[in-house]
Amino acid sequence: MTKVAKKGKIAILKEICKGCGLCVDVCSQGILGLGDEMNSKGYYFSRINSEKNCTGCAVCAEMCPDLAIEVWRKSNISGNSRK
Amino acid sequence: MLKKVFIKGNEAIARAAVDAGCRYYFGYPITPQSDIPEYLSKVLPKLGGEFIQAESEIASINMLMGASAAGARSMTSSSGPGISLKQEGLSYMAGSELPGVVVNVARCGPGLGGIAPSQAEYFQATKGGGHGDYRLIVLAPESGQEMYDLTFKAFDLADKYRNPAMILADGMLGQMKEPVLLQPPRKMDLPDKDWVLSGAKGRPQNIIKSLYLGDKELERHTWQLWEKYQRMKKEDVMFEAREIKDARLIIAAFGSCARIAKSTLRQARAEGLKVGLIRPITLFPFPEEIFRQASIDTKMFLTIEMNTGQMVEDVRLSVSPGTVVYFYGRPPGAGSLPSPDEILREIKKVYEPSSE
Amino acid sequence: MKKVFERPKSLKDTPSHFCPGCHSGLIHRLVAEAIDYFKIQERTIGVASVGCSVFLYNYLDVDVIEAPHGRAPAVCTGIKRVRKQNIVFTIQGDGDLAAIGTSEIIHTANRGENITVIFINNAVYGMTGGQMAPTTLLGQRTTTSPYGRDVQQEGYPVRMVELLSGLEGSAFIARAAVNKPANLMKAKKLIRRAFEMQINNMGFSMVEVLSACPTNWGLKPLEANRRVEEEMIPCFPLGVFKEKIQGSEDSRG
């Protein structure tokens, strides 16, 4: 489920995700959406719709109350740093 | 460095706390115990300790909880209404297995009651007091000297069992001046406090809590507490017994009442009445065994209390079958301290010459 | 590619018990990030309060004690007075801090206790099932204000930040929100600053963080976030309300 994009990539930890959708709302590229698949706790977890536009800005991960998103970014690209 | 000083019972408690290594005190003013915070507010800061006059009795017991969790010997003191407010914290401390010393220089209730000496907090002190199935270690001094000695002991017992310990005194003992020998008793061998909160450096985190939600977790925890209370009953019961071997009647009394009853005992013996006395010093653990043994031969007991009958229930539960336990009580209030003559009259009411 | 977002070291890898869309998880993470930032994990002591915040020890990998309801600031006081080198903090909810524990928080702030309080305000009693809180908004329906909070009946929402910043003992008092990325980044800085105040011995620091409670508000997470923006922030304005400057006359640092 980990998808490599040009600038950044993310992975959703589907068993941790509670499907609140806060990440979907904040993604400037609109690459996230709530799926129709349920995890073992019964949540419709977030999924990546179009990974190729991911900038690796990590805003989705920052907003995730459950630390269910991992983010990678190409090191030469300056994005929205957490610092 | 042994020193005999002429001091109030309250000061004896404060000095014992300092000698026992207590450097943290949290309290709130209330008569008749305010000498304790007054003394400690002078002394503790000079010893590198801390004195806080808290905003309430509730805050002070919770500060005690924090200081104790941080590993320090610490104390709070109060009286009746204030002790009621501390019950929440005491329940949490017992559930979280935290040591700490709480002094109750009891006054009258219910409600605002009065400031005269009282023994009406026997139930509250020995049966839990707050919510949940727990006990405090309860020590009942009868003199200035015991205010000193038992306070010292309370710190040791609290640490030994990781359980709050209470000194149950009263306004008479707190305000009366007596000679007190400031000789710290031998300290117990105590286990290391490896459970304290000090920052999890080089070890897993320490957690101090009383919430157990897992299946059967709380039941297990409560039985563990129970086992601790059973161990107290085996190892740390304290009492004084006087002239019980040939006694036809044994007086049961604690604290101030026991002290008064000792005068009665002398008078009774002088008149040829075979009277003895058992004075529980630990109200919890209650000295059940001495009552059981003594009542094999002595079938008449008279419990004297400054209330309408509280400890008498434990005496009745402890004595052997066929023993009659009489009760004489004076509910606390101004002018209601029983006199030795009064107790003697009560003895004579029930005492019949033996058939020998 | 380089990993650019990681779990703070002092935050345990445990799934939280918080409901979907609840901000508590975020706020716990921000606290952990501050602890990591200052490298104080090994000398930090947490005090858990009563409410949804009670499982602090399941999430923060530091020494923790559970306090009775509302009493966390008093427990913090006891710990800090014994261990002045340790960093002592608590996370309290609005029922805990602004109702049953009002006395403790006011006097702890007034004494200038050198501790840090993170105050999660979600305008409702979460753990007990959505009853009215002291910070419940006017008109807000809860399980004990079924017709909406009414001034005549229940009075106004309590603004603790404004109240505590008026006390001379408090050193740093701020209010933040985490309902959108820009607010979250500010909240992160303010929480870090609160811990910094304690590290510098400046005295009492508190950050109130507005939080959504989708479950008890009966709203979807995104709707709840909008309520934070549209209803809570106007009632509980964000910003730094009090900040003592190090070395100034009124600071202890």
User: What is the rounded average pLDDT of the residues A2-14?
Assistant: 77
**B131 interaction partners in chain C (CB closer than 8 Å):** none
Q: What CATH code is carried by the domain that includes residue A60?
A: 3.30.70.20
The string of pLDDT tens digits covering residues C120-150 is: 999 999 999 999 999 999 999 999 999 999 9
Chain B touches chain A, with at least 3 Cβ pairs below 8 Å, answer no
CATH of the domain at C101: 3.40.50.970
Residue range C20-68, pLDDT digits in tens: 999 999 999 999 999 999 999 999 999 999 999 999 999 999 999 999 9
At position B17, the amino acid (one-letter code) is A
Task: Find residues 36-95 of chain C whose CB sits inside 8 Å of chain B.
Answer: 41-45, 47-48, 54, 57, 61-68, 71, 74-83, 86
Q: Are A62 and C184 within 8 A, CB to CB?
A: yes
**Chains in contact with chain B (at least 3 beta-carbon pairs closer than 8 A):** C
Mean pLDDT of chain B: 96
Of C68, C77, C79, nearest to B197 by CB-CB distance is C79
> Which of C43, C77, C106 lies at the smallest CB-CB distance from B66?
C77
Whether B356 maps to a domain, the answer reads no
Answer yes or no: is A36 within a domain.
yes
Residue B3 pLDDT: 85
How many domains are there within chain B?
Answer: 2
Cis? peptide before C146, omega within 30° of 0? no
Which chains share 3+ C-beta pairs under 8 angstroms with C?
A: A, B
| Nearest neighbour of A62 by CB, restricted to C1, C181, C220 | C181
In this structure, are B114 and B228 located in the same domain? Answer: yes
Contact call for B52 and C62, based on CB within 8 A: no
Question: For residue A22, what pLDDT is reported?
Answer: 97
- Counting one residue from A and one from C, how many pairs have CB atoms under 8 Å apart? 80
Average the pLDDT over B254-275 and give the result.
97
Angle of helix C102-111 relative to helix C72-82, nearest 10 degrees, comes to 30
A65 contacts C184? CB cut-off 8 A: no
Of B58, B60, B199, the CB nearest to C44: B199
Q: Please indicate, yes or no, if residue A42 is contained in any of the structural domains.
A: yes
Q: What is the dihedral of CA C208, C213, C219, C224, to 10 degrees?
A: 30
Out of B205, B235, B265, a domain closes at B235
Would C61 be classed as within a structural domain? yes
Both B30 and B157 in a single domain?
yes
At residue A3 the predicted structure's pLDDT band, cuts being 50, 70 and 90, is: very low
Subunit contact C29:A82, Cβ cutoff 8 A: no
Percent of chain C with pLDDT over 70: 98
Interface test with B, best of C39, C44, C54, C79 (most B CBs within 10 A): C79
Residue C252 lies in a domain: no
Give partners of A (≥3 CB pairs < 8 A): C
A77 part of a folded domain: no
Q: Are residues B253 and B208 in the same domain?
A: no
Interface of C with B in 8-47 (CB under 8 A): 41-45, 47
E strand or H helix that includes residue A42: none
Q: What is the pLDDT of residue A1?
A: 47
Q: Please check whether residue C16 lies inside any domain of the structure.
A: no
Are B228 and B306 members of one domain?
no
Long-range contacts of the stretch C227-235 (C-beta < 8 A, 24+):
C228/C177, C228/C179, C229/C177, C229/C179, C229/C180, C231/C137, C231/C140, C232/C121, C232/C123, C232/C137, C232/C177, C233/C177, C235/C137, C235/C138, C235/C157, C235/C159
Q: Give all strands of the β-sheet with C63-66 in edge-to-edge order.
A: B207-208, C63-66, C44-48, C87-93, C116-121, C204-210, C170-177, C239-243
Q: Is 70 exceeded by the pLDDT of residue A5?
A: no
B1-24 pLDDT tens trace: 678 999 999 999 999 999 999 999
Least CB–CB distance from C66: residue in B60, B199, B208: B208
Tokens of B178: 């007596």
| pLDDT score, position C250 | 66
Non-local (6+) Cβ contacts of C241 within 8 A are C161, C162, C165, C173, C174, C175
* A62 inside domain: yes
List CB contacts (< 8 A) between C186 and chain A: none
Residues in A whose CB is inside 8 Å of some CB of C read: 4, 8-9, 15-16, 18-22, 25-26, 43, 56, 58-59, 61-67, 69-75, 79, 81-82
Report in angstroms the alpha-carbon separations of B324 from B299, B321, C166, C184: 6, 9, 65, 73
Task: Tell me, yes or no, whether B180 and B119 share the same domain.
Answer: yes
**pLDDT at residue C44, rounded to an integer:** 98
pLDDT at C137: 98
pLDDT at B157 over 90: yes
Residue B355 maps to a domain: no
Question: Does B95 lie in the same domain as B78?
Answer: yes
The reported pLDDT for the residue numbered B342 is: 97
Percent of chain B at pLDDT above 90?
95
CATH number, domain containing residue B91:
3.40.50.970
- Structural domain ending residue among the three candidates B209, B235, B261: B235
Residue B353: per-residue pLDDT? 62
Mean pLDDT (chain C, rounded): 96
Q: Output the pLDDT for position A4.
A: 45
Tokens of C114: 């050198």
Q: Is residue B214 domain-shared with residue B283, that is, in the same domain?
A: no
* Number of structural domains found in chain A: 1
* pLDDT value of position B183: 87
- Ramachandran region of residue A58, left (φ > 0), alpha (ψ -120 to 50) or beta? left
* CB-CB under 8 Å, C19 with A56: no
Range of the domain at A18: 8-72
Q: How does strand C87-93 pair with strand B239-242? A: unpaired
Contact call for C5 and A75, based on CB within 8 A: no
Instruction: Please state the domain count of chain C.
Output: 1
Examine the domain organization and report whether B69 and B205 are in the same domain. yes
* C13 falls within a domain: no
Residue B356 has pLDDT above 70, yes or no: no
If we measure between CA atoms, which residue out of B295, B304, B308, B298 comes closest to residue B259? B304
CATH classification of the domain holding B325: 3.40.50.920
Q: Is the Cβ pair A65, C16 closer than 8 Å?
A: yes
Mean pLDDT of B131-149: 98
Question: d(Cα B3, Cα B111) in Å, to the nearest integer?
Answer: 40
pLDDT at B355 over 60: no
Answer whether residue C10 is part of any domain. no
Tell me the CA distances in angstroms from C22 to B136, B187, C98, C123, one per residue in order: 40, 52, 20, 13
Do B26 and B166 sit in the same domain of this protein?
A: yes
Q: Domain of B96? A: 4-235
Whether residue B212 sits in one domain with residue B166: yes
Q: Please give the average per-residue pLDDT across C171-180, as a whole number.
A: 98
pLDDT tens track for B192-212:
999 999 999 999 999 999 999
> What ipTM was assigned to the predicted interfaces of this complex?
0.96
**Residues of chain C contacting residue A11, judged by C-beta atoms under 8 Å apart:** none
Residue A12 lies in a domain: yes
Range of the domain at C80: 24-243
B166 in Cβ contact with B125 (< 8 Å): yes
Per-residue pLDDT band at B187 (split at 50, 70, 90): confident
Contact A21 C24 (CB under 8 A): no
Strand A69-73 relative to strand C2-5: parallel, antiparallel, unpaired? antiparallel
In the predicted model, is pLDDT for residue A76 greater than 70? no
Instruction: Specify if A83 maps to a domain.
Output: no
Interface test with B, best of C10, C41, C56, C81 (most B CBs within 10 A): C81
Residues B76 and B164 in one domain: yes
The CA–CA distances, whole Å, from B67 to A61, B40, B139, B350 equal 39, 16, 22, 51
Q: Are residues B265 and B279 in the same domain?
A: yes
Touching check for C104 and chain B: CB below 8 Å? Answer: yes
Q: Which of C120, C229, C231, C182 is nearest to A26 (CA)?
A: C182
Say whether residue B96 is in contact with chain C using an 8 A CB cutoff. Answer: yes
Do C221 and A20 lie within an 8 Å CB cutoff?
A: yes
- The contact set of C with A (CB < 8 A) is 1-5, 7, 11, 15-16, 18-26, 29, 180-181, 184-185, 214, 220-222, 225
- Report pLDDT for A75: 75
